[in-house]
Amino acid sequence: MTAFLFGILSSLAASVIALTLGLLRGSRPLWWLVTVCSWCTGTGLRRVYRHQSFAEQDIARDLSRARWIKVLAGRGNVLTREVFSPLWSGASSVDSIQVLLPAPHPQGDSWLDQRSNDLHRFDPGYSPELLRDQVRANIDYLTHATRTRSNFELHEFNLPNICRVIATDQVAYLTFYSSSTHGRNSPCMYVRAPGILYSIALQQFDLAWTNSSPTLPAS
In the predicted model, residues of the chain with pLDDT beneath 50 are 4, 8, 18-19, 22-28, 219
Give pLDDT tens digits for 187-199: 899 999 999 999 9
Which ranges of the chain would DSSP assign to H, the alpha helix? 2-24, 31-41, 56-64, 85-89, 111-122, 128-145, 196-210
Spell out the domain ranges in the chain: 2-211
Q: Which CATH fold would you assign to the domain 2-211?
A: Endonuclease; Chain A (3.30.870)
| DSSP line for 24-65 | HTSSS--HHHHHHHHHHHT--EEEEESSGGGGHHHHHHHHHT
What is this structure's pTM? 0.82
Q: Give the CA count within 13 Å in the CB-facing half-sphere of 75.
A: 21
